[in-house]
Structures are given as C-alpha cells and as structure tokens.
Structure 1
Amino acid sequence: MLADSIKAGDVLKPFHIEVTEQMVRKYGEVSGDFNPIHFEDRAAKEKGFPAKIIHGMLSMAITSNIVEPYLQKGYWVKSYEMKFKAPVFVGETVTIEGTISALEKESVTIDIRVSSPTYPQVAKSEILLHVYK
C-alpha cells in the first residue's frame, strides 16, 4: 500500500493537460450536454465569456487523474468534491496540483488546486481515497 510511503503534507506530482476542442466535443457527446457556450464562441460571448468554456464536469474528470497512482495501488475514490471558481477556456492548458492533507489508517485525503493561464485558481477540490479491504 502507498500508506507506508506517504505522509500528510506530501505534494503530488503536478500535471498539465491541454483541453482540446475534441475533448469538449467528445464529452458533450457522452454527457448529452450540448450547451452552445461549450461549442460556439458567439454563444459564450453572449453569456459574458470571452471564448468557449469547457464543461465543469469535464474539468472534474480531468482533475481526478492526479490520484491515478493511488488507484493502481489499492485505493478507491470514496468521495470527491469540487468547487468551481472560474471558467476554463477551450484550448487552455490546465495545471493540477495536489497535497496530502490527511492520512489515516485506511484513507488518504488529497486537496487539489486547478489553475489555468487565465486564472490562478479555476477550481479546488478534495478527494478522499479509501483502501480496498
């Protein structure tokens, strides 16, 4: 288990990912969310955004990739909360950073911060991982 090798305060390896139009299109197809603010600059501008924005749940899905190493080592996601602070624009590269905020016998809590070139914090989240029994 990873619990033997981690401690509260540990920083996870950050990652960067460009959110492409293809990703947004595929997410729209899977989710059924075809709100024009995700696909048309004009529609996004009419709602006050300077360009198309990605789906909030797409950013949540992308962010969860930071815990993948833990999932491969015997943990599962027990809870996942995200607060959206600002939009991510289609084509931007987001940065996901995580810190172990709490470690218990059978669980790990990870605080996560998501940023973009436009906004220093687009979202923050907390993922609680629990060990398989």
Structure 2
Amino acid sequence: MSTPARPTVADLAVGDVVATRTVEVDRATLVRYAGASGDFNPIHWDERFATEVGLPDVIAHGMCTMGCVVDVVVDWIGDPGAILRYGTRFTKPVPVPARGAATVEVTATVGTLDAEAGTARIDLTVTHEGAKVLGRTQVVVRLG
C-alpha cells in the first residue's frame, strides 16, 4: 500500500481550509493523559476541588487538548515527521463532564506559504461551545 503524497505549495493557497474535525475529550482521556504525562493536578479529576477553585467542572489538561487537535494536521499532511513547529496560547479551559464528552471543534486553514522553504503555516481555530479555547495556534509543516 502506497502512502499518499504530501501536498505541495502549488496545491495550496492562503485561506484554504485543509481540514476540520470534532474532537471529543472524555474523563477516560484525562485519566490516560494524566498517566502518560504525570500531571495529576486535581483540577483534572476531582470535581469538588475544581469547583472550589472556581472552575465549572474538571478541565482537560491544556497540553492534552493541544495534542488532540494537532492530529487534524497530522492526518491531513500524512506524516507526523512533516510537523516542523507547533505552538499555541491557552485561552479558556475545556470542562469535561462526568458522563459523555466535551466536544472541541477544529478548523485548519493555510495561514502562509513559503515556496522557497517548501513549508506552510497552518492556523488552527479551536473552539468549545463557541468559545476559543486555544489562541494563535499555528503548525508549520514541510510540504511535499
């Protein structure tokens, strides 16, 4: 089975939406992330503690949210090794209900193209219940 070719600069234009996705984050995701990262802060698992410190419920780890949403770009580009740089600002927490999941909407748009370097900056819009939860989320990828 052959791997699809990565997009090239010629395939893209600034403003192109290259991918969208709804990402679901549930309590099991938080448990797995806490175990993998070692981040056992009670705001991520103890509802009582989270509400006592002013949060609406337990919240997703910021880095977990960041990691979940970059997959939309990884799947689009077809190669995790093509990700050259990734950064964001955490703007709002993502409350995760005891039952069900929090849904995070992701839209990936071409922000800039660099033909000489063969790269693109992909800008991610990341929202939960209509509010931006990550800001200035940018992924620089190596194109084909």
**Relative to structure 1, is the Cα distance of residues 19 and 74 closer, same or farther in structure 2, using a 3 angstrom cutoff?**
closer
- 1:59 match: 65
Structure 1 match to 2:134: 123
List structure 1 runs of 4+ shifted beyond 6 angstroms: none
Quote the sequence identity (%). Answer: 29
Aligned to 1:102: 112
Partner Cα distance (1:75, 1:129) in 2: 9
Aligned mates of 1:121, 1:72 — CA distance in 2: 26
TM-score, normalised relative to structure 1? 0.90
Q: Deviations over 1:14-57 (max 9, x none)?
A: 10021011111000000000000000111111211010000000
Structure 2, gaps ≥5 residues long: 1-5
**Is this contact kept in 1: 2:17–2:108, CA < 8 A?**
yes
Q: Which residue of 1 aligns with 2:7?
A: 2
CA RMSD of aligned residues (A): 1.7
Verify the 8 A CA contact 1:45 1:51 in the aligned structure 2. yes
| Structure 1 unpaired stretches of 5+ | none
3-state secondary structure, aligned to 2:30: helix
What is the number of residues matched between the two proteins?
A: 131
Q: How does 1:1-133 map to 2 (within 5 A)?
A: 1-3=6-8, 4-72=10-78, 76-90=82-96, 91-105=101-115, 106-117=118-129, 119-124=130-135, 125-131=137-143
Aligned mates of 1:74, 1:27 — CA distance in 2: 19
Matches of 2:87 and 2:139 in 1, distance apart? 7
TM-score normalised to structure 2 length? 0.84
Relative distance call for 1:43 and 1:73 in structure 2 (3 A) is closer
SS in 2 for 1:14: strand
1:75–1:131 contact (8 Å) kept in structure 2: no
1:37 alignment partner AA: I
Q: For 2:58 and 2:143, locate their aligned partners in 1 and report how far apart those are by CA, in whole Å.
A: 39
Q: Alignment partner of 2:69: what SS? A: helix
Tell me, in whole angstroms, the C-alpha distance in 2 between the residues paired with 1:29 and 1:51: 20
Q: Secondary structure at the match of 2:55?
A: coil
